[in-house]
Structure 1
Amino acid sequence: MEQVFNSKIAGKRVLILGLGVEGKSTYRFLRKMLPDQQITLSDQRTELLNIDEFRHVNTIMNFGENYLHDLGSFDVIIKSPGISENLFPASLPDEKLTSQTELFLEVYRNQTIGITGTKGKSTTARLIHHLLSSAKYKSLLVGNIGLPPFDVIDQIQPETLIVFELSAHQLEKVRVSPHIAVLLNIYQEHLDHFNDFQSYQLAKLNIAKWQTSKDFLIYPGKENSVVDLINHSTLVSNKITYGFGTEPCLNTCFKDDQIFLNTSGALKMICDLTGIEFLPGRHNQLNLMAAFSALIGAGVTDFNFCNSLVDFRGLQHRLEFIGSYNGKRFYNDSIATIPEAVIYALDTIKDIDCLLLGGYDRGIDYSQLVDYLANSEIPNFFFTGDAGKRMLNMLKPRLTRKHQCKWFKNFDEMVKQAIKNTSENRACLLSPAAASYDKFMNFEHRGNRFRKLVNNWFQSLKDQNTTKLSGNL
């Protein structure tokens, strides 16, 4: 890492653009590596002026509305993922731009398993890390899951494998790819950041664009949106495909609750999922196949895959079972911010009485989801936010009188009405198909609020029953 910094950063006019979690991590690492280097920090938020760690004789702070001023005067701009390049002047050369992701991969690409996809990347990254650790490999989990890779550099040994969850924002302009790349799926998402869907697709494909013939790309062999994108590319890496069925085109496949290695039609069972219920649904079966394929690419084959799954647990806010109260079951799927994720959830959760949808509208196409909902047996659809209003207007004309379809300005009121309208032995599911930024900080904040409202309702029932019992004594 020191060699890369000496050649690319040392003695240059350096700007760190964006001081979120990753930007702060970049600053700490640069200041440690180059204590006498002058570094400029830029961010729109003026409250960052009060952060003590930025007060350094060789640190220049440019916070506020002019934070993008004079970008062309810098030799190197280390950009945080959330800042759109649409804000930059057209004259700014791409060569000036880099990122923590790119700098890290330039040094550690040969030790890195990168995972991206519109949905499933956090679960799959955690699965790969868990399986590697269970097989006694040294593994570190970094990236979009919440830990910037610069924060773990001191822990990396030559034998360490780095499992790197990568968002489209992190991949947008990288010019280096990990040794093993996992591309799970590509659906419409983040259209508020990217100019169009094609730009988003190409950002995702950067995970493999710079691979060599010695590297591996893992992807679903029957996912048309991914297969078509790869077939129309010039990628040279080795391909490992996975999917449902046992066709020779699939290297890792799923049939009858079992996962197989497929070598020219010769099947070797590597995991029997019968009775394993903590990763429910077709989407998690795909995540498992992707994780197993990544380990195969890394040369990890001689251990019991299934035994290592026993103590693995899925993510919060991803089809999270909150509890069953008076026979009513409640599920938190707040992470489902696109239509495809909602359809996965509806295929997994049975006997849904009330579905909660909506939030911040990013212009996503909801026609496929509306078709699915119109043909479902769900009696109650509750909506919120601008995205919810648009879904409601598309769905309502297609429903019969037996359906209840309502829009709520207030999220809490929507949840309270959903609790009331969920019958015994039926399920209530929050699976919004929309981002949360209109009312919440992120999907976790939204999911936590949903969980709290449900738990408050359950606690009120317990208190009422205690009062009644006390009165009868």
Structure 2
Amino acid sequence: MKKFDWYGKKILMLGAARQGQAIARYMSEHGAEVMLSDAKPFNKLFPAFDALKDLPIHWVTGGHPVELLSDVDSVFVTGGADLQIPIIREAVFRNIPIQNDTQVFLSAVQAPVIGITGSSGKTTTTTLTGRIAEAQKKEEQHIWVGGNIGNPLLTFVDDIKKDDIVILELSSFQLEIATISPRISAILNITPNHLDRHGTMEAYIAAKKHIIDYQNEMDIAVLNRDDKISWNLRKEIHGRLMSFGFVKPVDCDHEAAIFLENGMIKRCMKGIEEDLFSANLIRLRGSHNIANVMAACAIASAAGFSPKAMREGIENFSGVDHRLQWVREFNGVNWYNDSIATAPERTMAALKSFDEPLVLLLGGRDKHLPWDELADQIHHRARCAILFGEAAPLIKTALEKAQTTDSSLAVIVCHTLQEAVAAAASQAQAGDVILLSPGGTSYDAFKDFEERGKQFIEWVLQLK
């Protein structure tokens, strides 16, 4: 649907946060009649109301009564909206289209779009791809990076020119109701995550898969050869395939692929094998970050970016905040912030990034994911586990079940993250790494993982 199609349409937007404001503004400015409903009372929405006060928007606050659906042409939701609430279920029953800002953006934008999803590594890979694109771009081009990071790009869609390049990080929440796929779509990996939202692993995979479901024969899917679920999706792509993985493909003459060999990141494409750069150029910790770099190179290759641009984009990149972020060295102990680790799988990747003795801080809110494998790894890789938040009892039980006779792991349970920081400082020995890699979400005590990470950094920097 093109942007001019919204003229005279009656739109119901559920939620007045950033995405909701972006949709409301876009729709109103393109001639739609907009009703904005938020479950919060009006006195909690003054910033949102102030941001949209120049537009003829009808506000409904304090709930989402189903009566709002009368004569509505489309219902819009934010990425994190619960699709099972009564008003959305009733809209589905009435065959009223349910959309989000990503759908509108993809239908309206003129520039080519690169979409990136995965259970982990999305933001790092998206940021790297953006840096490579910046190194590749022509003088008159603009690179737009957004989606699940930064501000909603729908706010800027009318400013994006057809020769620009758009790079979107897309979550399963954003893809859940997708009916449009980017021209280049990457699935980095699919491991158990957000099952508290999607219910089953099958539903989670289906949501992720939407990023390639609506491609055509000229589009390109980028898949991970080392991730079983991602790689199995190669049988269902509609266009061309570009892959990445640690081992060189068997049939490199006929595949387009990125791989690691003899310390070099390499590419085979159109029957030509070439060195891209030394893996020593990568400053990020952990094999999972080498995979993220290879993914960015695969995406860049699919987009036609040069090896020179890849090297320039990756060189001197030290990472994204809250992702194995070094905080400080204090009394011979290095502190790291990996607050982005909101699933056990991500914490396992973080553990593999260190050879030093580890004091691990983990907890938060559980997402109905298994802790058993992580518990086993903690016994082998950490000397102390400090648990905090709602999930602490659950994790403690998993650690007790995984304990063996030769395990010397110390386990400390705290109520809050701040208490956990103090406990870690008291336990630390010179040469240790203290790692916040929670494995659970932040919602039991913080607005999001970023707020949790910032608070962690603040408390660590206060240590004396």
TM-score surpassing 0.5?
yes
* Amino acid in structure 2 at the alignment position of 1:225: I
**CA 135–265 in structure 1, closer or farther in 2 if over 3 Å, else same:** closer
AA of the residue aligned to 2:443: Y
Map of 1:217 onto structure 2 = 221
Counterpart in the other structure of 1:299: 304
Partners of 2:101 and 2:44 in 1: CA distance: 20
Shift of 1:93: 4.5
Shift of 1:54: 4.0
Note if 1:309 corresponds to 2:314. yes
Q: What is the aligned partner in structure 1 of residue 33 from structure 2? A: 38
Q: Give the aligned partner of residue 76 of structure 1.
A: 74
Report the CA distance shift for 1:27/1:319 in structure 2 as closer, same or farther (over 3 A).
same
Counterpart secondary structure, 2:390: helix
Q: Of 197, 201, 206, which aligns to 2:201?
A: 197
Structure 2 distance, partners of 1:285, 1:193, is 30
- Is the aligned partner of 1:13 residue 2:10? yes
Stretch deviating more after TM superposition (149-158 or 47-56):
47-56
1:346 equivalent in alignment to 2:351: yes
Residue 68 of structure 1 deviates from its aligned partner by 4.8
> Is it true that 1:360 corresponds to 2:357 in the alignment?
no
- Tell me how far apart the structure 2 counterparts of residues 346 and 53 of structure 1 sit (CA, whole Å): 43
| 1:389/1:94 CA distance change after superposition, 3 Å | farther
Alpha-carbon contact 2:286-2:353 (below 8 Å) kept: yes
Give aligned-pair identity as a percent.
27
In structure 2, the residue matched to 1:245 is: 247
Does structure 2 conserve the Cα–Cα contact (< 8 Å) formed by 1:248 and 1:263? no
SS at match of 1:85: coil
- Alignment counterpart, residue 140 of structure 1, candidates 133, 141, 144: 144
- Aligned residue number for residue 417 of structure 1: 423
Which residue of the other structure, out of 158, 179, 186, is the alignment partner of 1:182? Answer: 186
Partner-residue secondary structure (3-state), 1:405 = strand
Secondary structure of the structure 2 residue equivalent to 1:86: coil
**Could you say which residue in structure 1 is the equivalent of 2:124?**
123
Matched, 1:206 2:210: yes
Answering whether residue 439 of structure 2 is matched by residue 439 of structure 1, we say no
Find the aligned partners of 1:323 and 1:210 in 2 and give their Cα distance: 46
In structure 1, what is the Cα distance between the partners aligned to 2:75 and 2:58? 14
For 1:153-185, what per-residue CA distance to the aligned partner results, in whole angstroms no more than 9, with x for missing partners? Answer: 243112101001111111111111000001111
Tell me how far apart the structure 1 counterparts of residues 459 and 360 of structure 2 sit (CA, whole Å): 16
Of 270, 278, 284, the residue aligned with 1:279 is 284
Give me the whole-angstrom Cα distance separating, in 2, the residues matched to 1:422 and 1:379. 10
1:160 to 1:379, Cα distance in 2 relative to 1, 3 A:
same
Cα deviation per residue 1:99-144 (whole Å; 9 max; x = unaligned)?
A: 2111111233760000111111111111111011012343111111
User: How far apart are the structure 2 equivalents of 1:262 and 1:302?
Assistant: 12
Alignment partner for residue 396 of structure 2, among 380, 385, 392?
Answer: 392
Please give the root-mean-square deviation of Cα atoms over the aligned residues, in Å. Answer: 2.1
Q: CA deviation at 1:299?
A: 1.4
Q: Judge conservation of contact 1:144–1:167 (CA < 8 Å) in 2.
A: yes
Match of 1:456 in 2: 462
Name the SS for the 2:250 alignment partner. Answer: coil
Asked if structure 1 preserves the Cα contact closer than 8 Å seen for 2:110 and 2:160, the reply is no
Write out aligned runs for 1:99-114 (5 A). 99-108=100-109, 111-114=112-115
Structure 1 counterpart of 2:247, which letter?
A: G
| CA distance 1:93–1:223, shift in 2 (3 Å) | farther
Bigger mean CA deviation after superposition, 62-71 or 18-27: 62-71
Matched-pair contact (CA < 8 Å) for 2:190–2:227 = no
Letter in 2 for 1:40: M
Partner AA of 2:462 in structure 1: N
Cα–Cα, structure 1 residues 439 and 53, in superposed 2: closer, same or farther, change >3 Å? closer
Q: Report SS of the residue matched to 2:285.
A: coil
Contact in 1 for aligned 2:104/2:154 (Cα 8 Å): no
Aligned equivalents of 1:79 and 1:23: distance in 2? 7
Count of residues paired in the alignment: 449
Question: Structure 1 residues 230, 391: closer, same or farther in 2, change over 3 A?
Answer: farther
Please give the alpha-carbon distance, in whole angstroms, between the structure 2 residues aligned to 1:277 and 1:89: 47
Q: Structure 1-normalised TM-score?
A: 0.90
**Distance change (3 Å), C-alpha of 1:221 and 1:127:** same
Alignment of 1:154-169 (within 5 A): 154-169=158-173
Alpha carbons of structure 1 residues 48 and 452: separation in structure 2 relative to 1, 3 Å:
closer
List alignment gaps of at least 5 residues for structure 1: 461-473
Q: State the TM-score, normalizing by the size of structure 2.
A: 0.91
The answer to whether 1:267 aligns with 2:273 is: yes
Structure 2 counterpart SS, 1:115: strand
Q: Which residue pairs with 1:469 in the alignment?
A: none
**Cα shift at 1:56:** 6.2
* Corresponding residue for residue 467 of structure 1: none
The higher radius of gyration belongs to: 1
The 3-state SS of whatever aligns with 2:189 is coil
Structure 1 residue 303: deviation in Å?
2.7
Q: CA deviation at 1:342?
A: 1.0
Partners of 1:389 and 1:18 lie apart in 2 by 34
Measure, in 1, the Cα distance between the counterparts of 2:191 and 2:442.
18
Counterpart for residue 465 of structure 1: none
Aligned-partner residue type, residue 445 of structure 2:
K
- Aligned partner letter, 2:79: P
Find the counterpart in structure 1 of residue 89 from structure 2.
Answer: 89
Q: Distance in 2 between matches of 1:277 and 1:11?
A: 52
Distance 1:378 1:350 in 2: 10
Structure 2 counterpart of 1:84, one-letter code: D
Q: CA 1:229/1:387 → structure 2, altered by over 3 Å: closer, same or farther?
A: farther
Give, in whole Å, the separation in 2 of the partners of 1:348 and 1:57: 50
**Matched AA of 2:28:** R
Q: Distance in 1 between the 2:55 and 2:447 partners?
A: 34
| Contact 2:246–2:260 (8 Å) recurs in 1 | yes
Q: Which moved more, 1:148-157 or 1:51-60?
A: 51-60
The Cα of 1:48 is off from its aligned counterpart by 5.2
